[in-house]
Structure 1
């Protein structure tokens, strides 16, 4: 067994392995930290104007807690971590690969760095590939968040117990069988992609640009504080610019659950944008933005710091 240890260690210290493991851990840790805000954000995005999550972010968090308890605040987080590990890992692996194999840039401190347009292209590629790799799990997680909220409301209004919430496997199978197979599992992937791709591109580009301003030679704790700060800035800027497409992503994911009950029905992305503007006004494009920023800003900050720390630990091992 001992003879395989050096090979195993060498494999883990490879650039691809480091990026994959560090990226996956960064995604899982960061999303768990902000899971309550993620759940409320989805509920705010897909509700109609007559539903009851309109009293503010923290009131909505409290309402979910009252209706479903602590498990309700983390509903879908287990599935989200299963999804986000490869989602985040693929992003960092593709980004690092773009640096070395497409643009031939080392990217180490004190060496050549990507130009901003190269960062945007690399970020767009890793965003698109990560969506394709994990989209069915993202769709099911969104539906799980909505269905458990609806079940809690029905149970309260009828004053009796109703069927248990559907499980992940059950939702995957049901979606595949009833909504056209693979096509059903990728329902909403287009509006998702046009939102995620520019978001990831901006996130990587802004973070990498700001990282160049961090003074060299400072102690690790101070450097990590700087990275936490610029990670928050990069996530906030990227999400605010691309948020309307994130809202479209969630709405298209739940259309097949009963568009009339949820208060909207669209024939396509263009129709959705026009309809939201007419029926909900400009604010409609940013419904749930506050909840999303409470999720994205700390999540992105934690993700970048965890990624950098794990990478440093694995390289030093």
Structure 2
């Protein structure tokens, strides 16, 4: 009874402390989940066993020959009574613990506090350490001065949580120093390159990426220029690995926040001396590592730093907490905040659309004139042999500015067009997205199609004016045509002439484009999920190729319906009439006129538009408390992605796996998974 009361108090304290981090505390939901995994009924009270909690709820150690001691140690973090059974108050208390900012240290403390008295004795520390994978490889000297300083000369001193957190912080560094001393048998202050590699791969392996291990540590030519490693070099090397997040901040300080700007060693040193205690030797090693992995030739960029050490656990937790807040908070925001957010996105979309439209407008003009050129019923020579011939003749007869006929109304209309397109796509995606941020491919296609359909209200008037201005220059000596005169001539309903064809073009285009862009962008991202602006541009251009080319027939029909027919040219009464007459008079190939120009226009246009939009989000991101727009954050694959897939993980438990993973990535505490050695694979 006392323990249940104690655990409830602890749970409330933890949840209050973590309230600023997680606002989804739902005791009833948590109890419902608890009952699904509770398999033991004792005196009318339900309990979860250690195996059920670790193997079924957390999804760890799911092998048949799992290590039972490791499972008991992990479950002991939650099992405060240390009786092998987890009650709901204990389950709830651990949920609260995961919400607090020092969750990793508190979790580690409870791992070593095996008797649950709130203090760690030397015997408890030694018991847990002796079961770790690391200690089995390289046993730690439990009689060292370091241990005695924390636990006392007779090792009888009990260590509090705050003291133990400092002990853990220093312990792994001491572990490395102890390993160096063991390898330096003659006390020369040097160890062999082979011993150095052994220490790195055994003790510091959790601080190394696969790329670092393969291209640096495991290579025969490392360390370069020497077969011996000095103690200062070793300390600088390990310090660099431990402080990589600080190294990244030094880089960003040197570049004023730009991630693609190259930085020399001298520039980096200058920035380091301004804001940290990074030594010149550490900087030398940093540039050596970057050059070994990426052949940087003395100049590094931010992405080079990501390949040295893996992402630390606290970044994973921070991102997951942000995701939870983003999912749970939109309905709590005021109307004014949501209006400001919409205005912000509208502005960025307008700028991106204007940049994209301007960049490829000459190609768009050539495409329009090629599609409007008749080859069947019109008597006389064709004006243009191909797109390149059209481009040359426009410049020759109308000047360079002739390539930009109709640009002004295009820019005026592109802002609401892009804004409504992006807004509707996001809105529909949100409706079909589950609570964990997953969306099916058919929902992505539907969202894109809805976005394409919604934009026609702006696109059709915009394009009919643009097209008539673009072809006006073909009539020699013709009267000057302005956007205002076209609008007056057409009237409100005339501005929507060809709207059906516009729908036939824009709906499938967006249905193809948006999902393709999202998936291609993911493929082009680096191992940390970051997209360089060039990869964003490439993703936008590649996604535009199938989208633009496959809807060319609808674009040809739309162009013919919206252009004023000249004397002797065939007139059309609607989409199907135009399709029938074009096929009868000019053949099937006529439907693909301007396809090349369309691809060369649409692909780079949308590439430039979206890369501009996403870069603006990165540079000028404003947090309105809702979900972050695509491009304003860096998505990094991590153990969290596995947690997100677990429907029973809510609240603090959504970060349970990253926190437990942090025991290894931060402190190197790795428990064996198997009870027996797995057989060696056949040769």
Q: Given the two structures, how large is their TM-score scaled by the length of structure 2?
A: 0.40
Instruction: Sort the Cα spacing of 1:28 and 1:308 in 2 relative to 1 into closer, same or farther, 3 A.
Output: same
Give the superposition deviation at 1:104.
Answer: 3.9
Determine helix, strand or coil for the equivalent of 1:213. Answer: helix
Q: Residue 267 and residue 174 in structure 1: after superposition, are their counterparts in 2 closer, same or farther (change >3 A)?
A: closer
1:44 touches 1:53 (CA, 8 Å); kept in 2? Answer: no
Which SS does the other structure have where 1:86 is aligned? Answer: helix
Structure 1 residues 236 and 173: alpha-carbon distance in aligned structure 2, compared to 1, 3 A threshold:
same
Distance in 2 (alpha carbons) for counterparts of 1:136 and 1:186 = 6
1:225–1:147 CA distance, 2 compared to 1 (3 A): same
Deviation at 1:260, TM superposition (A): 4.6
Choose the corresponding residue for 1:66, options 369, 372, 396: 396
Which string of whole-angstrom CA distances, capped at 9 and with x for unpartnered residues, describes residues 119-154 of structure 1?
11111111111111342222111111112322xxx2
Q: Which residue of 2 aligns with 1:246?
A: 555
Q: Which position in structure 1 is the counterpart of 2:372?
A: 46
Higher relative contact order (CA 8 A, sep 6+): 1
Aligned position for 2:500: 190
Match of 2:221 in 1: none
Equivalent residue number for residue 570 of structure 2: 264
Question: What's the C-alpha RMSD, in Å, of the aligned pairs?
Answer: 2.4
- Once the two structures are superposed, what CA deviation does each residue of 1:195-237 show, in whole Å capped at 9, x if it has no partner? 11111111111111222323356696x6222211111111111
Which residue among 519, 528, 549 is the counterpart of 1:209? 519
Structure 2: 5+ residue stretches without partners: 1-333, 624-683
Q: What secondary structure is seen at the aligned counterpart in 1 of 2:532?
A: helix
CA–CA separation in structure 2 for the residues paired with 1:213 and 1:115: 17
Determine the structure 2 residue equivalent to 1:173: 488
In structure 2, the partner of 1:236 is 545
> Residues 498 and 575 of structure 2 are in contact (CA less than 8 Å); yes or no, is this contact kept in structure 1?
no
Q: Is the 8 A contact 1:40 1:61 kept in 2?
A: yes
- Distance in 1 separating the partners of 2:460 and 2:608: 23
Structure whose alpha-carbon radius of gyration is higher: 2
Q: Counterparts in 2 of 1:84-95, with a 5 A limit?
A: 84-95=414-425
Task: Say whether the 8 Å CA contact 2:524–2:539 is kept in structure 1.
Answer: no
If each structure's helix is expressed as a fraction of its own residues, which one has the higher value?
A: 1
Change (3 A) 1:113 1:305: farther
Deviation at 1:25, TM superposition (A): 1.5
- The answer to whether the 8 Å contact 1:192/1:246 transfers is yes
Residues 60 and 105 from structure 1, CA distance in 2 versus in 1: closer, same or farther, beyond 3 angstroms? farther
Q: Which residue of 2 aligns with 1:148?
A: 473
Unaligned runs of 5+ in 1: 1-6, 156-161, 177-181
- Where do residues 6-25 of structure 1 align in structure 2 (5 Å cutoff)? 14=341, 16-25=342-351
Q: Who is 1:226 aligned against?
A: 535
Q: What corresponds to 2:447 in structure 1?
A: 122
Deviation at 1:69, TM superposition (A): 0.4
Report SS of the residue matched to 1:48.
coil
Change (3 A) 1:105 1:65: farther
1:36 alignment counterpart:
362
**In structure 2, distance between residues paired with 1:202 and 1:291:** 19
Separation in structure 2 between the aligned mates of residue 22 and residue 202 of structure 1, nearest angstrom: 23
Asked if residue 133 in structure 1 is aligned to residue 458 in structure 2, the reply is yes
What TM-score do the two structures reach when normalised by structure 1?
A: 0.82
CA deviation map 1:94-135 (0-9, x unaligned)? 1112222x22458xxxx6243211111111111111111342
The answer on 1:275 being equivalent to 2:581 is yes
Structure 2 partner of 1:179 = none
Is it true that 1:293 corresponds to 2:623 in the alignment?
A: no
Q: What residue in structure 2 maps to residue 308 of structure 1? A: 614
| Residue 308 to residue 13, structure 1, CA distance change in 2 (3 Å) | farther
